[in-house]
Amino acid sequence: MSKIPVYQPQLDGNVSTYVNECLSSGWISSRGEFISRFEEAFAQYVGAEAATTVSNGTVAIHLALEALGVGPGDEVIVPSFTYIASVNTIIQSGAIPVFVDSLTETLQVDPALIEAAITPRTKAVMAVHLYGHPCDMDAIVAICQNRRLYLIEDCAEGFGSRWKGQHVGTFGDAATFSFFGNKTITTGEGGMVIARDPEVMERCRRLKSQGVSPTREYWHDMLGFNYRMTNIQAAIGLAQLERADEFLASKTKLAETYAERFASLPVRTHVPVGEVTHSYWMCSLLVDDSRIRDDLRSHLSRAGIETRPFFAMAHHMPHCRTEQVLPIGEDLSARGINLPSYPGLSSEQIERICESVSGYFERAA
Ligand SMILES: *Cc1c(COP(=O)(O)O)cnc(C)c1O
């Protein structure tokens, strides 16, 4: 019986053609035509003025924070229920993450709790569009405008996600994407930053390349990094972007199949709430308690089906632990499972997953 992983990239289309162009031309490092072609096509896809490539989605967030001038003495409000990179990059910038709880229905940060967490030191809010469902951007944009806070969107899991038709990442001051191997479009490792203010965008471009002066060779007038993407990664990214609509359509169909097939089971799928486009980075299930969650995962594992638990809460991690109780996120984190969610799943594989999940609850009944 073949194993079904949680994720697997689809590397067909023009991937090998474009990569071979890099190899035969010799442009394998961080200069080359695919960099700008990928940046321009990506900006156009999400509806941004411009975009700049980076080596992964984590440094993308760090670069955005640095370019906005977030640093020591500042607080950044972030959901604790997120992937750890959202939080680590705040700490790396020298700022302090201030954790808030999430909402049960959408799994996204609770805007009312953002408002309540603002102090005189708050500099920015980080909205994370978790598992492909957008955050409440009306509420979060209003809070950031009224309270004069930067809004950074971590869209690593939000490629293809829209709030009232508008692509996530275009609501705030800066936004970041990840192209890790299991993200909706991939470059192996890779990321992208977009920013509203052209000056912030320009600072991102300089900071990612050792802070080099645009006019004087080997002159570095700011503390920069090497966060550049390679032309080979960008070649893969451009080919992936050409397939993006197909990937998103099959992921949506998969999520709808799971929702239909599990409708009468004691589980909740992650359905879109409000006027949103859910991109279903991950198709998830919430079961009644953590014991069932672990048991169901073992049952699926014995059937050769890989699953992932929901993220652990960031405020429980040793390096950024707080004594807060964030009951919604803590509860979600203990009860959630991600199912295989990639566009290349065959109908036989989908059938096997659905049968196996249903079989678990029939056996338990
Ligand atoms: C994947 C991910 C990141 C980090 O991206 P990498 O490319 O793995 O560095 C950041 N935030 C969230 C929410 C993610 O899912």
pLDDT (0 to 100) of residue 87: 98
3-state secondary structure the chain: CCCECCCCCCCCCCHHHHHHHHHHHCCCCCCCHHHHHHHHHHHHHHCCCCCEEECCHHHHHHHHHHHHCCCCCCEEEEECCCCCHHHHHHHHCCCEEEEECECCCCCCECHHHHHHHCCCCEEEEEEECHHHCCCCHHHHHHHHHHCCCEEEEECCCCCCCEECCEECCCCCCEEEEECECCCCCCCECCEEEEECCHHHHHHHHHHCECCECCCCCCCECCCCCECCCCHHHHHHHHHHHHCHHHHHHHHHHHHHHHHHHCCCCCCEECCCCCCEECCCCCEEEECCCHHHHHHHHHHHHHCCECCEECCCCHHHCHHHCCCCCCHHHHHHHHHEEEECCCCCCCHHHHHHHHHHHHHHHHHHC
What separation in angstroms does the CA of 303 have from each of 6, 32, 259, 359? Answer: 13, 46, 21, 11
pLDDT > 90 fraction of the chain, expressed in percent and rounded: 99
What residues does 86 pair with on adjacent strands? none
pLDDT tens for 314-335 read 999 999 999 999 999 999 999 9
Question: Does the pLDDT at position 365 exceed 80?
Answer: no
Q: Check residue 1 and give its pLDDT.
A: 74
Domain assignments of the chain as residue spans, ordered by start = 15-101+108-241, 244-364
- The radius of gyration computed from the CA coordinates of the chain, to the nearest angstrom, equals 21
Task: Give how far the C-alpha of residue 5 lies from the chain's centroid of Cα atoms, to the nearest Å.
Answer: 19
Identify the residues whose C-beta falls under 6 Å from ligand 1.
56-58, 82-83, 85-86, 128, 154, 156-157, 178, 180, 191
Long-range contacts of 217-224 (CB under 8 A, 24+ apart): none
What is the overall mean pLDDT for the chain? 97
| Per-residue pLDDT at 266 exceeds 80 | yes
What is the CA(177)–ligand 1 centre distance, in A? 8
CATH class of 244-364: alpha beta
**What is the pLDDT confidence band of residue 264, given thresholds at 50, 70 and 90?**
very high
Q: Catalytic site residue 183?
A: yes
Which of 3, 123, 183, 251 is catalytic? The answer is 183
Q: What is the pLDDT of residues 210-236, one digit of tens each?
A: 999 989 999 999 999 999 999 999 999
Compute, in angstroms, the gap from residue 265 CA to the centroid of ligand 1: 31
Domain 15-101+108-241, CATH number (from 3.30.30.10, 3.30.565.10, 3.40.640.10, 3.40.1190.10): 3.40.640.10
Distance 4 CA to ligand 1 centre (A): 23
What does the pLDDT read at residue 363? 83
pLDDT on residue 97: 98
pLDDT at 125 over 80: yes
The encoded tokens of residue 152 equal 């950074």
Nearest CA to ligand 1 atom 10: 85
